[in-house]
Amino acid sequence: MKQVTALHERYPSALIVGSAAPDFGETHTEDVICLPDGLTLFASGFPAYESPWFVDGDPRTVLNALGIDLADLTDEDREYLYLDEEPHLTNWGMLGGLVLEHCGRRLRTGLEMSVFRVRHTEDYTSMMEEMWMWSR
């Protein structure tokens, strides 16, 4: 979340949608949606397990702020968006994709590239190195 906060401070009018799914022997997901007004949704956990999960923010509030009505979605778009259920049942990355699509960021054919630099603290870099060495 620290990185998202820093990005929002640097680019206050940007819509920030991020999704990561590192594999710790079991997939762990971290998903974030941050609107230009600062309204943020963050979800983190192991989809295969009920806990531990951390969800900060209300997905319905974010969708309402963007004018997305779940009732207007197709069954296919609503599949795996169980916002009233336990967090591990919702596909948070799919929710981010829905937000991007609604905001005009559709998947396109052909190669599209964005280049950016990610910086990590020394502690986090050490943790990533441990995970990489452990999962080999």
pLDDT tens by residue, 7-62? 889 888 888 888 888 777 788 889 999 999 989 999 999 888 888 899 999 999 99
Q: Average pLDDT of 68-85?
A: 85
CA 99 from chain center: how many Å? 10
- Please list the helix, strand and coil fractions of the chain in percent, rounded to the nearest 5, in that order: 40, 15, 45
DSSP one-letter code for 109: S
What pLDDT shows up at residue 133? 55
| Residue 66 vs residue 21, higher pLDDT | 66
> pLDDT (tens digit, 9 = 90+) per residue, 81-101?
888 899 999 999 889 888 888
Q: Say yes or no to pLDDT of 69 above 50.
A: yes
Look up the pTM and report it.
Answer: 0.74
Neighbouring C-beta atoms of residue 7, cutoff 10 Å:
16
> Do residues 31 and 22 touch, judged by C-beta distance below 8 A?
no
Give 49's contacts (C-beta < 8 A, 6+ positions apart). Answer: 26, 88
Structure confidence at residue 109 as a pLDDT band (50, 70, 90): low
The edge-to-edge listing of strands for the beta sheet with 40-45 is: 16-20, 29-34, 40-45, 53-56
